[in-house]
């Protein structure tokens, strides 16, 4: 009887441990939320099939608490929001900043002092919510530049989005694959050491006074 009791107790310990492990695993697999404020630098690449179209540096500055953001796509960029807006540019692949305020998104080429309103809330051009990955599918762990990063995948209106981050929440990579032919892909690999949760100066999000007109060719959702 004592032996039976000992075995039963041991079995309960094992069961309890397994339940706890399963609960922890489910917790780790839950889609994360972004911090309400962060900055991070990155390198981005655009591909069609196996053809590399462009690669360039950039940065994200995100402050959801104030509903503002700035996404920088630097020299060499072919960002689809930056291009085709009808601005008179000497260098269409030059530095481009996407500026978000509470109602609109602006395309800004700071070196050329060219800027216009590309779209607004009606087109879905608002600051991304920290919970945008809610309901995303867990992809498991992938090694990205020597770091074990957990990934999630979610379907957007025009693309399949994937997000990878380290266990401490530091972003590793974001990628999107367009659903329509020719199914181009866009990868952003973050410089993890640049990730910062420090408050961002409000001047980073300032929209220049010359951003006072609509783009000749506004951005339209697919």
85-105: per-residue pLDDT in tens? 999 999 999 999 999 999 999
pTM, whole model, 2 decimals? 0.86
The stretches of the chain forming alpha helices (DSSP H) are 2-29
Distance CA(219)–CA(85), nearest Å, equals 7
Task: With CA atoms as reference, report the closest residue to 116 among 13, 10, 7, 217.
Answer: 217
Q: Residues 103, 118: contact at Cβ < 8 Å?
A: no
Sign (positive or negative) of CA dihedral 222, 164, 69, 134 = positive
pLDDT digits (tens, 9 = 90+) for 118-157: 999 999 999 999 999 999 999 999 999 999 999 999 997 7
């Amino acid at each position: 009887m004592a032996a039976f009791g000992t075995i039963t107790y041991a079995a309960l310990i094992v069961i309890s441990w397994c339940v706890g492990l399963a609960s922890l695993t489910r917790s780790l697999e839950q889609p994360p939320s972004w911090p309400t404020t962060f900055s991070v630098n990155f390198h981005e690449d655009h591909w069609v099939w196996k053809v590399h179209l462009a690669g360039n540096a950039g940065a994200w500055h995100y402050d959801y608490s104030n509903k503002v953001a700035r996404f920088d796509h630097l020299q060499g960029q072919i960002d689809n929001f930056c291009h085709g807006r009808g601005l008179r540019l000497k260098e269409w692949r030059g530095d481009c900043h996407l500026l978000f305020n509470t109602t609109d998104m602006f395309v800004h080429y700071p070196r050329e002092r060219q800027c216009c309103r590309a779209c607004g809330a009606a087109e879905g051009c608002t600051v991304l919510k920290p919970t945008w990955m809610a309901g995303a599918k867990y992809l498991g762990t992938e090694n990205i530049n020597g770091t074990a990063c957990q990934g999630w995948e979610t379907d957007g209106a025009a693309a399949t989005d994937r997000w990878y981050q380290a266990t401490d929440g530091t972003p590793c990579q974001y990628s999107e694959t367009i659903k329509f032919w020719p199914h181009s892909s866009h990868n952003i690999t973050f410089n993890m050491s640049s990730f910062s949760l420090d408050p961002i100066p409000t001047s980073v999000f300032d929209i220049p006074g010359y951003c006072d007109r609509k783009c000749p060719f506004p951005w339209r959702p697919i």
